[in-house]
Amino acid sequence: MGKVSKSLSSLLDVVMAVSLAIMAILVFGNVVLRYLFNSGITWSEEMSRFLFIWLIFLGAIGALKDNEHLGVDMFVKRLSPLMKKVVFVITNGLILYVLWLVLDGSWKMTLINIDSKAPATGLPLGYVYGIGIVMSICMAIVVVSNLYRVLFGKESVDEFIRMKESEDEMLASIEQQQAAQGGGR
């Protein structure tokens, strides 16, 4: 399972990097063409917008997988391990519900717009709305996997809850390190 996860993660990173590179090339190329040659690529702005949408949604998957979304943990840090697990299950249940809403809405929008074409590229607009389907399914897999690992695995809930040090704790840690280094001289 670890190899599959790493392979998919690497694929996600490559797709995001390629999307960003194509966007940069299209926008820069269009700027150069407009200023130097008074022309441009008619579909580059539209295509870069579509790539940007896909990049944002794919980045959200990667951020969830790496536990990098913003969170407020000052309440959760003070809970007992059992209550942390309860809160983790409740919040992830809410996340799954929201992902269901995104999936349902994206599915409906994709079906509505599958026959509509983008004006410059001619791509079906269903491709743009389809990323919501991809994102919600992939994020749901990550959430269910994390829930399973917390409930039935040997992993602690603290590994899945954003428990980064606050600024005050970081400053206190730095002061302790400096005191330890000064005391050792």
Give residue-wise pLDDT tens across range 142-173: 999 999 988 888 777 777 776 555 555 667 77
Six token digits for residue 181: 């280094």
Q: Is residue 169 part of a domain?
A: no
Q: Is residue 133 part of a domain?
A: yes
- Structural domain of residue 58, as residue ranges? 2-163
Percent of the chain whose predicted confidence (pLDDT) is above 70: 92
For residue 183, pLDDT over 60 is answered with: no
Q: Is residue 176 part of a domain?
A: no
Q: Is residue 173 part of a domain?
A: no
**How many structural domains compose the chain?**
1
The rounded distance, in Å, linking the Cα atoms of 90 and 83 is 10
- The per-residue pLDDT for 167 is 59
Reduced to 3 states, what is the DSSP secondary structure of residue 69?
coil
Contacts of 41 (CB under 8 A, 6+ apart): 26, 29, 30, 33
Q: Is residue 7 part of a domain?
A: yes
Q: Is residue 106 part of a domain?
A: yes
Q: Is residue 184 part of a domain?
A: no
- The per-residue pLDDT for 148 is 92
The rounded distance, in Å, linking the Cα atoms of 40 and 74 is 51
pTM of the predicted protein model: 0.79
Nearest to 32 by CA among 21, 40, 20: 40
